[in-house]
Structure 1
Amino acid sequence: MTSPLTPSRQRLPQKRSLLTRVATGDQAAFGELYDQMAPRVLGLVKRLLVDHAQSEEVTQEIFLEIWQSATRYEPARGGASTWIMTMAHRRAVDRIRSSQAGRDRDTKIGIRDLAVAYDDVSETVETRIEHERVEKAMSRLTELQRQAISLAYYGGFSQSEVAAQLHIPLGTVKTRLRDGLIRLRDELGVAS
């Protein structure tokens, strides 16, 4: 004999059902799904990122991604909660990697905000010349490479977000970025 469902379980629509409705653009279902999953998603993200404000921002990005990509959810491959929590984990790890890359870049280049005297005019000229070199090198890329690099590096989008915006597979984005960066490196004469 099966045990009756608890009253709270009876009132809450299953996440799988909600996600299927979200895929059709049902805003009410999205609201219910958000109410059910946001605390768990925020908890996971906060455990990884620690910073509360950054965790809230990443959680918003995750729910935006859920809204935009709910049609890609395949119930046969796993539960809705698992799909959402996997997405949350990946997004949080992407943020950690991005932050670390930024810190590494700052360390490698040197922090410009140090109280070191420098010639403002020469700094401006050097920056302008470098900008022109990069623009010229970017113009030599294919349009597809230029789109991917512009979104990823100038737009600040993750590879997954670039794939979603361009409506192409993630692997294609990675290939375009890799090939474009190699070509840029060659055009700019930067040693690898």
Structure 2
Amino acid sequence: MREAVHIGPNPAAEPDLQQLVGEVALGDREAFAAVYDLVAAPVLGVVRSVLRDRAQSEEVTQEVLVEVWRTAARYRPERGTALNWILTLAHRRAVDRVRSVEASAAREERAALLDRLPEYDEVSEQVEARLEREQVRRCLRTLTELQRQSVTLAYYRGLTYREVAEALALPLGTVKTRLRDGLIRLRDCLGVGA
């Protein structure tokens, strides 16, 4: 009977990951280097499957391996294999990064919305101006047609008294009288002091 041929590294020669993590817990740097070599690729694979971004995946992989160095004493063999423990750390860290990025984007979006909101003073000024315009419109409706036309041409279109008189085909004196009477009625309607 032929002996089984094994291709690749000799499994008997590979150090036991569980034992290496135990040595890392005692501060053994060589053991950590061996753990790093054994798990860096699988950790990167798990992280990359969550993050999809290569640069962030590499960064998170480094964070996970540092966490393995710092927390190796927390590993409990009775709860599962060392590789599963490390890959669980990797998955959690990757998910945390996704949540952090999403929270940051949400904060930035809220800040951008706040930047687009007008200041309180600006809002109150807009409301006040709108109310004033509405009151002026209401008061303009109380004028006679000739007064309203004269005031509109002179104050809203910027025509001179002479131009208003020409536009309405009226004598200049009549336009001046209508403007004066119209402005007095507007002042009284708007409650502006004399």
Give the TM-score band, short-chain normalised. Answer: 0.5 to 0.7
User: Normalised by the size of structure 1, how large is the TM-score?
Assistant: 0.54
Distance change >3 Å, CA 5–CA 59, structure 1 → 2: farther
Task: In structure 1, list runs of 5 or more residues that go unmatched.
Answer: 117-192
1:87 alignment partner in structure 2: 89
Measure, in 2, the Cα distance between the counterparts of 1:4 and 1:35: 27
Q: Which residue pairs with 2:12 in the alignment?
A: 10
Aligned equivalents of 2:75 and 2:88: distance in 1? 12
Question: Equivalent residue for 1:107?
Answer: 109
2: distance between equivalents of 1:111 and 1:18?
52
Q: Structure 1 residue 33: deviation in Å?
A: 0.6
CA distance in 1, matches of 2:41, 2:77: 22
Q: Residues 28-68 of structure 1, C-alpha deviation per residue, up to 9 Å, x if partnerless? A: 11001110100000011011111111111101100110000
What does the per-residue CA deviation read over 1:76-113, in whole Å, with 9 as the maximum and x for residues that have no partner? Answer: 1110000000000000000000000000111111079x
In structure 1, the residue matched to 2:144 is none
> How many percent of aligned residue pairs carry the same amino acid?
46
Distance in 2 (CA, whole Å) between partners of 1:4 and 1:90 is 39
Shift of the alpha carbon at 1:10?
1.3
Counterpart position of 1:52: 54
Q: AA paired with 2:96?
A: D
Within 5 A, what are the aligned runs for 1:157-172? none
1:39-78 correspondence to structure 2 within 5 Å: 39-78=41-80
Task: Tell me which residue corresponds to 2:27.
Answer: 25
The aligned amino acid for 1:53 is A
How far, CA to CA, are the matches of 1:56 and 1:111 in structure 2?
33
Q: How many residue pairs are counted as aligned between the two chains? A: 113
Give 1:4 deviation, angstroms: 7.8
Larger of the two Rg values belongs to structure: 2
Q: TM-score, normalised by structure 2?
A: 0.54
CA drift at 1:5: 9.9
Large movers: runs of 4+ above 4 Å: 3-7
Which ranges in structure 2 are unaligned for 5 or more consecutive residues? 117-194
